[in-house]
A and B are shown apart, each in its own frame.
Chain A
Amino acid sequence: EAGVAQSPRYKIIEKRQSVAFWCNPISGHATLYWYQQILGQGPKLLIQFQNNGVVDDSQLPKDRFSAERLKGVDSTLKIQPAKLEDSAVYLCASSQGTLETQYFGPGTRLLVL
């Protein structure tokens, strides 16, 4: 069974630029999560989707971050404009349902200069 796929794996941008990350969850997984992991910290949930609907985006900085999950499969996370403090690893995870074990992708490492 293929795992969670993410791209790109690494991205370097300058502050105020825009960036987008892509995630393809495990086939059949209805729930998709985006996490931000800053160096030395644990992952922090940004947004949770159930199929193509948002379950929780309370920790998403909505003035600059946006996410969508069209058709309830793939998802994109966008940052516009980026700030220095957005430098982190962005992890995507999926699960069969909201109370099931989450499986993580390899992450996208973002560096904002």
Chain B
Amino acid sequence: DQQVKQNSPSLSVQEGRISILNCDYTNSMFDYFLWYKKYPAEGPTFLISISSIKDKNEDGRFTVFLNKSAKHLSLHIVPSQPGDSAVYFCAASGSGAGSYQLTFGKGTKLSVIP
């Protein structure tokens, strides 16, 4: 049973436009959410996170939105750049349990076309 779902395996966006990556979760105990970015032959790199007490967190071109009632979060990249082409993983944890174990989605491959 997948607790974190990224239903779009891939996404193509023109350079300069907005990229929107979506993620759904099923476990109501999750209260901390992260996005990781992964280039080929490298490990995932932390990008941005959001706590369940917030509904938005922004860092430069990257914004994460959380809709707790829908158990849905999204990552917006504006404007998209060719260097953003990578696989993006959504991850969730229930920090209230006292540990920071991450449950990952399957990832969405973003391609930004120049």
Q: Which residues of A contact B (CB under 8 A)?
A: 4, 31, 40-45, 48, 55-56, 91, 93, 95, 97-107
Contacts and interface: CB of A to CB of B under 8 A. Distances in A.
Contacts of B43: 4, 91, 93, 104-107
Contacts of B49: 101
Given A41-B106, A42-B4, A103-B46, A56 B99 contact: yes
Interface in B74-114: 89, 91, 95, 98-102, 104-107
A59 B24 CA distance: 23
Contact of B44 (A40, A91, A98): A91
B66 to A, nearest CB: 17
Could you tell me the dominant secondary structure of chain B's interface residues?
Answer: loop
Contacts of A91: 43-44
**9 shortest A-B CB distances, which residue pairs?**
A42-B104, A104-B43, A104-B44, A99-B100, A98-B100, A106-B43, A98-B99, A43-B104, A105-B43
A106 to B, nearest CB: 5
B101 A45 contact: yes
Contacts of B102: 43, 45, 102
A3 B102 CA distance: 20
Interface in B26-68: 34, 36, 41-46, 49
